[in-house]
Amino acid sequence: MLRVSGLTKIYANRYDSQTGGVREMSFDLPPGTFFTLLGPSGCGKTTTLRCIAGLERPDAGTIAVGDRVLFDGARGIAVPMHRRGIGMVFQSYAIWPHMTVFENIAFPLRVAKDRRHSRQEMAAMVEEALTTVGLSGYGERPATRLSGGQQQRVALARALVHRPQLLLLDEPLSNLDAALREDMRAELRRLQQQIGITTIYVTHDQSEALAMSDLIAVMDRGRVVQLDDPQAIYFRPATEFVASFIGAANLLAGTCLATVEPGGVGEFRLSGGAIIPCRFPAGSTAGAAISASVRPESIEIGPEGAMSTAIPGTLHGTVRAASFLGGNIRYDVQAGDQELRVTGAATGMLLPGTPVRLTFPPDAVVPVATPRD
Amino acid sequence: MLRVSGLTKIYANRYDSQTGGVREMSFDLPPGTFFTLLGPSGCGKTTTLRCIAGLERPDAGTIAVGDRVLFDGARGIAVPMHRRGIGMVFQSYAIWPHMTVFENIAFPLRVAKDRRHSRQEMAAMVEEALTTVGLSGYGERPATRLSGGQQQRVALARALVHRPQLLLLDEPLSNLDAALREDMRAELRRLQQQIGITTIYVTHDQSEALAMSDLIAVMDRGRVVQLDDPQAIYFRPATEFVASFIGAANLLAGTCLATVEPGGVGEFRLSGGAIIPCRFPAGSTAGAAISASVRPESIEIGPEGAMSTAIPGTLHGTVRAASFLGGNIRYDVQAGDQELRVTGAATGMLLPGTPVRLTFPPDAVVPVATPRD
Amino acid sequence: MSIPGTVGGVRGTARRRSPLALLRGDQRWPIALATSVLLALLMLPPLWILVQDSVTTTDAIGNVTGLTLAHFRKLVTDKDTLISVWNTLVFAAGSTVLSLVVGGLLAWLVERTNAPLKLLAYLATIISMGTPYILHVIAWLFLLGKVGPLNEGWRALTGAGGNLFEVNTMAGMILIEGLLWSPLVFLLLGATFRAANADMEEAARMSGATVFDTLRRISLPLAMPAILALALFVFIRAIGGFEVPALVGMPGRVFVLSTDVYEATIVVPPDLGYAAAFSVIMVVIVAVLLYFYSRLSKNAERYHSVTGKGYRPRPFDLGGWRWVAGAIIVVNFCVVLLLPLVTLLWMSLLPFLRGFSLAALPNLTLRNYRAVLQAGGYLDLALNSLTIAAGAATAIMLIALLAGWIAARRGPAGRILDQLATLSLVFPGICLGVAVMEVYLRVPLPIYGSLWIIAIAYVIRYMPYGMRYVYSGVLQLHHELEEAASVSGAGALTTLRRVVAPLLTPALVAGWLFIFLIANKELAIAVLLASPGSQVIAVAIFDAWTNGQGGELAAFGLMWTALMTVIACVFFAQMRRGAADVYGA
Amino acid sequence: DVDPALVEAAKKEGEVTWYSTLIVNQILRPLVDAFNTKYPGIKVNYSRATNSDVALKIVNEARARRLQADVFDGTNSIYPLLEAGLVAEYRPAAAANYPADLKDAKGMWTAMNAFFLTTSYNTNQVKAEDAPKTYDDLLDPKWKGKIAWVNDPTPQGPPGFIHNILTAMGEEKGMAWLKKFAAQEPVFIPASQRVVLDKVIAGEYPLAVMTMNHHVAISAKQGAPVAWIKMQPLSESINLIGIVKQAPHPNAARLLTEFVLSDEGQKVLADNDYVPVSPAVPAKVTDLKPDAGHFTVNLVTPDMARDDLPKWTALYHELFR
Ligand SMILES: Nc1ncnc2c1ncn2[C@@H]1O[C@H](COP(=O)(O)OP(=O)(O)OP(=O)(O)O)[C@@H](O)[C@H]1O
Ligand SMILES: Nc1ncnc2c1ncn2[C@@H]1O[C@H](COP(=O)(O)OP(=O)(O)OP(=O)(O)O)[C@@H](O)[C@H]1O
Ligand SMILES: [Mg+2]
Ligand SMILES: [Mg+2]
């Protein structure tokens, strides 16, 4: 439904040496997809969004919604932003403070070139949009008298009122309370599914991305490093960057002991000497340098000497720090020269200094590509 | 070490009817405590901090560090802010853009009235501060050339360089990346413990509060509603507000079946009819209206018909939504008229529509006070 | 509640796009084109004429007969030129510093501390905003003059002859010009201090700094770009300034460029070539300064838009010093406002000018007021003046809205627009007057000899101010507010009309009133361009002045000031509200 | 007495524009009002400016072929106009009985009022007997830096003064005197003779040269501590009225000129404390005029001025700047 290919937009940045922007973005979204651009600050998420919206002019590439080409660098096509019929919610919401909520939402209808909307029609559509975001009755409020969450909904309603085919959201939740963010997250997702509108969502919060998306593109320094569904991104990170950016995985470096055929389970030795079993989807050869990621919560932690299921591949270490996260406890464990993050059950905290044993289920250990550069 | 009692500061708010500020704050911190003020936006956290710092003049109450009285409304004592010897990190960091990192950090020493610092001495102290926050070597950088995280550390170094007895932090992490926030969180905590300085930390992010604090004061509309350690706050919320604000607990309302002596386990019936066992620390009488909170991760969830440990008190429902959070999965379950949040293991997601059975361990169900107003 | 948009205007300025990319596919370029053409038509011809005059010879009837460098040669060979240039610089620099110190200190006290009696400071500013410069100057000349209370008092006390203070000296010029500008400085720096991020200062206080330390090491350095920009601005205006050098300097034989130009225009026949040559020199000097000004003022605005979450005006507690601050404010009030007004009142009540003395009391009379009220024509003149000023201000703000918006958003031709709009800052009033007259005599439209020509001259002269107001106003708006409109399907004009303009209202109104006021303060242009069809107040004032009707001038001036003050009050209220809206204070 | 045909023609034109150097409230408006009461049908537009501006405007208008001015007056605004050939020839009937040196032989201009420039002093600061009586008295060291005068580069200013001295004393004696006078460091006041006088009245300067005696008379009548000295010869200069060539309203222009020069018009001048030139009309304070006041004058005729003003101005700059 949305096809982006070879999208490139490079900024020669005045402020610091490194140049920003995006390079060679390509993706193709089926209708109704909830697509998330995830990456650290400055990686080019907003730039991508602005190129699609037409707020920036890409240097190269093509953008097409359905069979309508919005931009084509080669053929010099560039539909101006106000003709693209895209809905967008800005990071700052950009609610116009000099208008009422109603006026804000009615604006896209008032300025619509293609067709005039009768007064009743407009009122109806705005009211509908308001109900969709659960703000019916707020129409007459001045826009300045809204809480963060309400503003965010108004922005959403404004983006939806003229029934765009594509919805763009730039970190819409980033300046809300933790609590409020939780709710809005669920609500947004519900809404999107209810309307079934194709959506591109920008965030640098991995849990947000994982919770909401059908499809995630993890970006790093202007490039997409992995494009996949949440589970895959989380459990089968393609690169070290993805692994460490998503949920702070542990990275284990070592050498493969014996050749393994694709999909088989092999073992590798850490510099510390310990042996860790691991499934190689792509196989591996003896002596090959391996880098693998393990999720904190996939590691089983128990006090030294306590029973632990008899799977081979265990490390011995001591708790350096333990922090209570409510649902569970986050331990920093020092095992030889390795420092590992491990998540344990909230009940019975192991105090710093306790010697512990860590166990690695083979399927939890995932080989990752080491960065070329 | 820090003693605050009866601290009151009320703003007649020009902009919206309800008045803001804080009322009747009282707490007493042993040295080296990491104390967190936690609450929704606008609940008075910053106000409290500013009163202690001396940036605002309280209407009433007393503030004392050790046996030095900083403020006493009754006796009309009010030590001016620049004599209180308190270190503070502002939410905006307030790094001075026209100075180098070194100049920024050296400032408190330069302006120190009590004693002149020799050039070498100053250099040494600044360098020490820089190393503490892990920025040694950055001294000559212009302050404008720093990333968010680095700015935050500089602000910290500046607050620490003149060795204050008390450190105040106002949402120091709120404008950092999710990833960066994680790290800074751990680092801050480590630092504080290393220096052993009494710290007041303001945040509206509950996970932050739980992870870092020795002691948490949950605030609501200018008042402290619970003052306790993280576990207690999390597992034994005093009020519905605390329960729901901290980690989105489920609230169950029902009536007590039989009188229970303090500390005993009793049962109560939900409006739906199901019986839920629950430990009453304060006891309860037959027929009393009960409101209890249960943490999403304390509820055991399993597909209908699957074996579940034979504890009484189960609910039957269907999954309405399941969202993948990486480490685990968050389910919204509809059980009769009750809607419950449940956290399950990341492995084997139960799809929406699946009928499930929920089990409540008695110790996980905590009676909470219903709000008077 | 602050406008969401105001947070982080910085980001807005950070986004810059290559002008080429913009010209393609940017729907603002038609606007940009139209605006630049309009501005070019306004701004360039006078400059051209000026240069032409300076390098050509003309016959008796003023037709160009040939090229020459004679005018410049005459200039550089004349030793007095160097002196004039030097005097000009000293004069401008001195008065700039003075006005910055006085106005700046006051602005800081009023905006950032809990000093008492702030109202007086505002009052002084408001009223002097509405008072024609020449009135101030006359009043000061009298106060500090040979028979003014200062010297009289000194003689009375010491019994010595001679004068304590010679007003007709460079010192006198600087003093008077400096005080003349301090209200404007107060106004503009006030805005800067209001916008400053209080966290920066509080951080300093928490680090153990006293109020003074904080002021010296934090507040001032942070405001420095704004201060420098303002300094340059005042400097430039002082270079072009005429009233003070003419009235104060010339009697003491202190000559500056603007008075040289003036003298060249009053000889018969007026030596326009020579005057133009002088003007060109001034233009060059000013142009150089202007280059720095534009760069500085950009920084200044960048600092301006640092506001954001939790911005609350938090004044310093001066403790015991409060009362010192209060004293300063009172003194300023007396010096800048009370004394001149009392003097004017005194003058207006005397049949002929003489020093303050009981002996004079018996001849106090309302004759001057009667004369003003009876002499017909003043009313029409007043009406004319108001109409012209209002018209000019309106036109300026409209053009500036377009130009300023595009320039601030780095739109197509943004730089060009900015430069065109700021160009006329280089004209000293007189030179502009002459140039404009010559231009519109050649235009085959019935502009010359009508009120239009004065209005146009005002538009040209005051365009830069309108531009500044809009420009910084736009920078206060988050760019996403406009982008949201575009994405909603609004074209450039719609966006401008329905989103930008409404949000800029405070800036627009403030700018309008500001221009309206200063347009009514200055003489040079109007006097030169006024013709039978277009008499304005300035001409009447000029008459009264050259004719030595000091009393009548004072009487009339006071009434005019009263009227202007009313308008200035509106202006001021606007400024405050504008600030409130924009900074969410 | 005025030719009715002219009146008719003027009425047809219906209006006339006057570029004047006269003070609006003091004399210009009274003159215009008087004219209007006599010829209600003819509207008079007037604007007031300095001599140089009046000349500048008319020249520019002519160059742009957009002439608005019909009548102009001024002490020296006329020279550039003559040079540019912009002055129409006209011999007003009303001026028939004027002395020859008060009207142009070629009929380009006629004097409409006279200025007698002399030395005045502040009677509070200077006793009558101490006041200087002759030009040489001005050289007394006690006046050093205490003598004010206008910086107006016209016959009513220093150039006129210089001309007066040179013609009265002769070239070299005059030059010698002027050098001595320069050593007295007289103070220049930018603005008008009137302003200079006011400064004397206010006591800023005890003494001023080249002030107009009718100004002194006006102020003295109001009780101002000032008096003028018959320091002979006084310098006389005249305000000229002329008609613009190709004026849009030639007849109205002529009619206006006739009126101003008629006894009726001259009377208006006198009533408003100006000094009329018509021999038939006395000044309000009679001894302001040479014959009634018994003092000698030294008239700067326009021709002299045109030919020699540059020379005087040069001298002025050379000696006093
Ligand atoms: N100077 C002030 N004038 C008026 N009201 C104020 C002022 N300062 C704070 N308030 C009000 O007092 C209440 C508490 O403000 P405070 O800044 O302490 O909240 P907070 O807990 O820090 O919120 P946040 O998490 O958003 O920083 C708010 O309702 C605020 O509107
Ligand atoms: N107008 C611009 N001029 C120069 N560089 C720019 C511009 N806009 C963005 N950049 C640079 O391009 C890179 C990507 O910017 P972008 O705003 O897309 O990042 P982002 O992923 O949205 O970051 P954030 O999460 O902080 O919003 C950054 O390094 C930024 O500095
Ligand atoms: Mg972004
Ligand atoms: Mg706060």
3-state SS, one letter per residue, for chain B: CEEEEEEEEEECCCCCCCCEEEEEEEEEECCCCEEEEECCCCCCHHHHHHHHHCCCCCCEEEEEECCEEEEECCCCEECCHHHCCEEEECCCCCCCCCCEHHHHHHHHHHCCCCCCCCHHHHHHHHHHHHHHCCCCCCCCCEHHHCCHHHHHHHHHHHHHCCCCCEEEEECCCCCCCHHHHHHHHHHHHHHHHHHCCEEEEEECCHHHHHHHCCEEEEEECCEEEEEECHHHHHHCCCEHHHHHHCCCCEEEEEEECCCECCCCEEEEEECCCCEEEEECCCCECCCCEEEEEECHHHCEEEECCCCCCCCCCEEEEEEEEEEECCCEEEEEEEECCEEEEEEEECCCCCCCCCEEEEECCHHHEEECECCCC
Average confidence (pLDDT) over D138-155: 88
pLDDT, tens only, D233-288: 999 989 999 999 999 999 999 999 999 999 999 999 999 889 999 999 998 888 88
Sign of the dihedral defined by the CA atoms of residues D243, D244, D250, D252, in that order: negative
Half-sphere CA count of C266, side-chain side, radius 13 A: 22
Nearest CA in chain D to C433: D53
Q: Is residue C445 less than 8 Å (CB to CB) from chain D?
A: no
pLDDT, tens only, A10-43: 886 554 455 678 999 999 999 999 999 998 878 8
pLDDT in tens, chain A (373 residues): 899 999 999 886 554 455 678 999 999 999 999 999 998 878 889 899 999 998 888 999 999 998 899 999 888 888 888 888 899 998 888 888 888 999 999 999 988 877 788 899 999 999 999 988 888 888 888 887 777 778 888 999 999 998 899 999 998 887 676 667 777 888 888 889 888 999 999 998 888 898 889 999 999 988 999 999 998 888 888 888 888 888 777 888 888 888 888 888 888 888 777 888 888 887 888 888 888 888 888 888 888 765 544 456 788 888 888 888 877 888 888 887 888 888 887 777 888 888 888 888 878 888 887 654 4
- Return the best residue to mutate from A19, A45, A175 for the ligand 2 pocket (most ligand atoms within 8 A of CB): A45
pLDDT, tens only, D15-54: 999 999 888 777 888 999 999 999 998 999 888 888 888 8
Kindly tell me the burial class for residue B114, based on how many C-beta atoms sit within 10 Å of its own C-beta (0-12, 13-18, 19 or more). Answer: exposed
Residue among C206, C218, C222 whose CB faces B88 most closely: C206
Centre of ligand 1 to C-alpha B83, Å, is: 25
CB contact under 8 A, A108 and C25: no
Distance CA C147, CA D202 (A): 7
- Helices C118-130 and C79-112: crossing angle in degrees, nearest 10, is 140
Question: Ligand 1: which atom is nearest the Cα of residue B204?
Answer: 25
Q: Is residue D123 less than 8 Å (CB to CB) from chain C?
A: no
pLDDT of residue A207: 83
Residue ranges of D 32-51 with Cβ closer than 8 A to chain C? 45-51
Residues of C in contact with A112 (CB under 8 A): 489
Distance CA C304, CA C226 (A): 8
Interchain CB contacts (distance < 8 Å): A and B = 98
Nearest CA in chain A to C308: A92
| Reported confidence tier of residue B18, pLDDT bands at 50, 70, 90 | low
Question: Ligand 1: which atom is nearest the Cα of residue B50?
Answer: 18
Neighbouring subunits of D (3+ Cβ pairs under 8 A): C
Centre of ligand 2 to C-alpha A21, Å, is: 6
pLDDT in tens, chain C (585 residues): 333 333 233 333 333 444 444 445 567 888 889 999 999 999 999 989 888 888 888 777 777 788 888 888 888 887 788 888 899 999 999 999 999 999 999 998 988 888 888 888 888 888 887 788 888 888 888 888 887 888 888 888 887 777 788 888 999 999 999 998 898 888 888 877 877 777 888 888 888 888 888 888 888 888 887 788 788 888 888 888 888 888 888 878 888 888 887 777 777 677 778 878 877 887 788 778 777 766 766 655 444 333 333 345 567 778 788 889 999 999 999 988 888 899 889 888 887 777 777 777 777 888 888 888 876 677 888 888 889 999 999 999 999 999 999 988 878 888 889 888 888 877 777 778 878 888 887 777 778 778 888 899 999 999 988 988 888 788 778 888 888 888 888 888 889 999 999 888 878 888 888 888 888 877 777 777 777 666 777 777 777 777 777 788 888 888 888 888 888 787 777 666 654 443 332
pLDDT of residue A31: 93
Residues of C in contact with A152 (CB under 8 A): none
CB contact under 8 A, C25 and A57: yes
Residue A203 Cβ < 6 Å to ligand 2: no
Q: Give the angle subtended at the CA of B73 by the CAs of B68 and B78, to the nearest 5°.
A: 50
CB contact under 8 A, B98 and C203: no
Distance CA C240, CA A9 (A): 48
Centre of ligand 1 to C-alpha D83, Å, is: 79
Question: Ligand 2: which atom is nearest the Cα of residue A204?
Answer: 25
List b or e across C437-470, with b for residues whose CB sees 16 or more CB atoms inside 10 angstroms.
bbbbbeeeeebbbbbbbbbbbbbbbbbbbbbbbb
**Nearest alpha carbon, ligand 2 atom 22:** A46
Centre of ligand 1 to C-alpha D37, Å, is: 76
| Assigned token pair, D83 | 């040079």
Q: Is B329 left (phi over 0), alpha (psi -120 to 50) or beta?
A: beta
Residue among A148, A177, A210 whose CB faces B326 most closely: A210
Average confidence (pLDDT) over D49-78: 86
Sign of the dihedral defined by the CA atoms of residues D192, D194, D197, D198, in that order: negative
pLDDT of residue A307: 53
ipTM value of the model?
Answer: 0.75
Distance CA A345, CA A333 (A): 15
| Assigned token pair, C504 | 């800029």
Q: Is residue D127 less than 8 Å (CB to CB) from chain C?
A: no
Centre of ligand 4 to C-alpha B48, Å, is: 9
Q: Is residue C20 less than 8 Å (CB to CB) from chain D?
A: no
Q: Which ligand is nearest to the CA of A177?
A: 1
Residues of B in contact with A206 (CB under 8 A): 178-179, 326
Sign of the dihedral defined by the CA atoms of residues D91, D94, D98, D102, in that order: negative
pLDDT of residue C584: 34
Residue among C483, C498, C505 whose CB faces A90 most closely: C483
Q: Is residue C265 less than 8 Å (CB to CB) from chain D?
A: yes
Q: Give the angle subtended at the CA of B367 by the CAs of B366 and B371, to the nearest 5°.
A: 130
Question: Ligand 2: which atom is nearest the Cα of residue A40?
Answer: 25
Residue A204 Cβ < 6 Å to ligand 2: yes
Residue among C265, C371, C531 whose CB faces D57 most closely: C531
Distance CA D150, CA A12 (A): 65
Q: Give the angle subtended at the CA of C262 by the CAs of C259 and C264, to the nearest 5°.
A: 115
Which residues does a 6 A CB cutoff place in the pocket of ligand 1? B 11, 13, 20-21, 39, 41-47, 204; C 312
Distance CA C421, CA D107 (A): 51
The pTM of this model reads 0.79
CB contact under 8 A, A295 and B327: yes
pLDDT of residue C376: 65
The CA–CA distances, whole Å, from C553 to A171, B32, C373, D214 equal 65, 75, 12, 21
Nearest CA in chain B to C214: B111
Interchain CB contacts (distance < 8 Å): A and C = 94
Half-sphere CA count of A316, side-chain side, radius 13 A: 5
Centre of ligand 3 to C-alpha B274, Å, is: 48
Residues of B in contact with A323 (CB under 8 A): 186, 189, 210-212
pLDDT, tens only, B84-137: 889 999 888 888 888 899 999 999 998 887 778 888 999 999 999 998 888 888
pLDDT of residue D11: 93
pLDDT of residue C299: 57
Helix H or strand E segment including A227: strand A223-228
Contact criterion met (CB below 8 Å) for C479 and C12: yes
Q: Is residue C44 less than 8 Å (CB to CB) from chain B?
A: no
Nearest CA in chain B to A324: B211
**Nearest alpha carbon, ligand 1 atom 4:** B13
Residue C312 Cβ < 6 Å to ligand 2: no
pLDDT of residue B189: 87
Centre of ligand 4 to C-alpha A120, Å, is: 43
Q: Give the angle subtended at the CA of B367 by the CAs of B363 and B373, to the nearest 5°.
A: 160
Rounded to whole angstroms, the maximal C-alpha distance in chain D is 63
Question: Cβ contacts of residue C96 below 8 Å, gap of 6+?
Answer: C178, C181, C231, C234, C235, C238
Distance CA A22, CA A48 (A): 7
pLDDT, tens only, B215-230: 999 999 889 999 999 9
- Protein residues placing their CB within 5 Å of the ion ligand 3: A 46
pLDDT of residue B19: 67
Residue ranges of C 22-41 with Cβ closer than 8 A to chain A? 24-25, 27
Residues of C in contact with D49 (CB under 8 A): 527-528, 530
Residues of B in contact with A324 (CB under 8 A): 210-211, 230-231, 234
> Is pLDDT above 80 for D127?
yes
**Mean pLDDT of the residues in chain D:** 89
Residue A13 Cβ < 6 Å to ligand 2: yes
CB contact under 8 A, B92 and C309: yes
pLDDT, tens only, B175-188: 776 667 777 888 88
